[in-house]
Amino acid sequence: MNPAERRRLLEAFTRDDEDIDALSDVLYLNKVRVYEDTLAELADLYDYEVEDLTLSQEVLDALRDEADLRAEQMTGTYNGDLAGFIDAIPDDITYEHSVEATELWATDRDEARSELVGITEAYSAHADATVAFFVNNGIEVEFDFGGHGDDHPQCVVCEALVRSNPHPAERVVEVGTPHIQCRQKWHAVIEADDLPDELVLGQGAPAGILGNESLVQRAGGHTEAAEGLNG
């Protein structure tokens, strides 16, 4: 495969603005569903009846902004990986075989990352809705990280968060998503007497978690993030 064929192959498989828009739409719809489901599940947990749940435009805008950002980031990562894969194809491989190999690579990559993406992209919406459920109703509450049936923490960041339970709402917003593919959730520590008779559900502002990178990304690594929490 000559340099012109490599450029042709790269152009054929590079994802563009239309792909970003399509991915953003999928992410956005999933984030909206997670946000709504989280609010509804919390209402049900505390024995509230929910007849109509409509998210405020402010929440929808925050979910859309996050979806746009993540779609652009994910597409950029894909295009970078694609360029590396094509550069590594040996010169003696024909263009036709290179197309087949690239198609297989792209399919395998998407399938391998689907679970990671699904968990990671749902986390911020779930966490934001969890905090907003209480904050938007004027309920003072603390949160346990993990426990309550969650998987056992698997990294130093999650272990540090569990050790420092419970956390005020401000701390939960500050941490946000601990790390990519985190499976620990934030659980409210609250007495039934602290709950109001009626709820404002989904019509307030987002809690402040949406749109932020994970704690590990912001800190520069798991060790650095854990040290910051322990300090």
Summarised one tens digit per residue, pLDDT across range 55-102 is 999 999 999 999 999 999 999 999 999 999 999 999 999 999 999 999
pLDDT of 130 reads: 95
pLDDT of 231 reads: 62
pLDDT of 195 reads: 85
The Cα-based distances of 216 to 157, 185, 223 in angstroms read 8, 16, 8
pLDDT band at 180 (very low <50, low <70, confident <90, very high): confident
pLDDT of 192 reads: 73
CA 155, 115, 210, 217: dihedral to nearest 10 degrees? 40
pLDDT of 39 reads: 96
The shares of helix, strand and coil residues in the chain, as percent rounded to the nearest 5, are: 60, 5, 35
pLDDT at 190 over 90: no
Size of the chain in residues:
231
For the segment 133-158, the average pLDDT, to the nearest whole number, is: 88
DSSP state of 4: H
The Cα-based distances of 65 to 7, 25, 100, 108, 170 in angstroms read 33, 11, 35, 28, 22
Tokens 């024995």 belong to residue: 47
Instruction: Read off the pLDDT of residues 21-64 as tens digits, 9 standing for 90 and up.
Output: 999 999 999 999 999 999 999 999 988 888 789 999 999 999 99
SS3 48: coil
Between residues 51 and 214, which one has the greater pLDDT?
214
Instruction: Read off the pLDDT of residues 102-142 as tens digits, 9 standing for 90 and up.
Output: 999 999 999 988 887 888 889 999 999 999 999 998 888 99
- Residues 171 and 169: their CA atoms lie apart, in Å, by 5
